[in-house]
Structure 1
Amino acid sequence: MWNRCEWLNEPGQWTLENDRLCVMTDAHTDFWRETYYGFIRDTGHWFHVNAGAEFTATVKVEGRFSELYDQAGLMIRLDDTTWCKAGLEVSDGQRLIGSVLTHGQSDWAVGSLPGEPDTFWLRATLKDNALRIQYSLDAQRWPLLRLASFPSSSAVEVGPFCCTPERAGLEVTFSCFTVEPALGKPLHDLT
């Protein structure tokens, strides 16, 4: 899968070996549009591939998240005004699981993450104009993080992202990245 990916905002330091993408973030990188802060940022690192109109994408994320707004996860994007990013983000002194959905303007939703781990998995399924984001701490149980309206379009791209709005130097490793046909599981099936 990695050999089909390309960068939006390629970081200064990254390697790809043995199915592991290792990234060190550049300074002051972020994805955000307008809400509350009034600014637009489209400077985060995103390694993406075309996924088509319906798919399930999964990735494993490992990092030492410590500073305000350190973040990494999975991004689903139609264009610069229509996207969703989901993953771990540091806020108020703790690691939180969250997502930002952008339809012209961004929102932000976060929740506590049991144990504040360094390693977690994300799974995004786009089917019938509905985006389902799930996370896992063991790659076995997949609680729902977000269900949202999102356009099913052949132009949708997906891939791992990371950014550090307040600093540089977060090291993140992504592995087990797959994009497959959309899972047909019921909403409350956590497998």
Structure 2
Amino acid sequence: MDIDVPWSAGRWTTPPARIDEQDDRLVVTAVEGSDAWRETYYGFVHDTEHALLAPFAVGTAVEVEFTAPFGEQFDQAGVFVRAADDRWVKAGVEFADGILQLGAVVTDGRSDWSVAPVPEWLDGRILVRVSRAEDALVVRASVNGGPLQFVRLLPFDGALTAEAGPLVAAPSRPGFAVTFTAWRTTDADGTLH
């Protein structure tokens, strides 16, 4: 059951610098300094990410597809899942230390961060998928229509009311624009392996 989510169905956590709807695509330009992070190591709290959120139920998955000109430190795009100001997940790709990285930030009071390099994904059409089970989220991703690869399994209480959808942030530069080509919900992944 794949259901396209209209761009108008979501609400922004923080309004972007610019939004352009072009045919079925949504081009989102980030505000310089936008980001999501809580405390760990750096000591600051940033809650200025641009996430377009709609309800996210147990037993479903949310997918977004996008392209972007990644190239500056911490340019990022993917899926944002939010239950509260201090309980959220961002999953996708981020340009860090000169290379495109695939990973996730999981925040439950404080943030953690895990990444793996995917330089071959630069300039590709990236899909990020987050499935919601009774007690967990499963993050997978792919590039250019290839097979989904496992990114992360993390605890996430099924009793929480959550929202999810496309994410953009640009901590270090103005003008970073992500072109989203799809936002949809589907059935959650049936198995982990």
Contiguous gaps of at least 5 residues in structure 1: none
| Partner of residue 13 from structure 1, selected from 15, 18, 28 | 18
Alpha-carbon RMSD? 1.3
Number of residues of Structure 1 aligned to a counterpart in Structure 2: 187
| Partner of residue 115 from structure 2, selected from 106, 110, 115 | 110
Q: Which amino acid aligns with 1:93?
A: G
Equivalence for 1:59: 64
Q: Which amino acid aligns with 2:54?
A: V
Q: Deviations over 1:117-153 (max 9, x none)?
A: 2221111001121100000013341110000001224
Residues 1:133 and 2:139 are matched in the alignment: yes
Question: Aligned pair in 2 of structure 1 residues 153, 138: CA closer, same or farther (>3 Å)?
Answer: farther
Aligned pairs for 1:83-162 (under 5 A) are 83-118=88-123, 119-153=125-159, 155-162=161-168
- The list of structure 1 runs, each at least 4 consecutive aligned residues, that deviate by more than 3 angstroms after superposition, is none
* Cα deviation, residue 187, structure 1: 1.2
Question: Aligned pair in 2 of structure 1 residues 100, 41: CA closer, same or farther (>3 Å)?
Answer: same
For the 8 Å contact 2:100–2:119, the answer to whether it is kept is no
For the 8 Å contact 2:121–2:143, the answer to whether it is kept is no
* d(CA) in 2 for partners of 1:53, 1:126: 5
For the 8 Å contact 2:11–2:53, the answer to whether it is kept is yes
* d(CA) in 2 for partners of 1:10, 1:29: 10
| Partner of residue 168 from structure 1, selected from 167, 174, 177 | 174
What is the TM-score with the length of structure 2 in the denominator? 0.92
* d(CA) in 1 for partners of 2:76, 2:51: 12
* Cα deviation, residue 51, structure 1: 1.6
Equivalence for 2:33: 28
**SS of the residue 2:147 aligns to:** coil
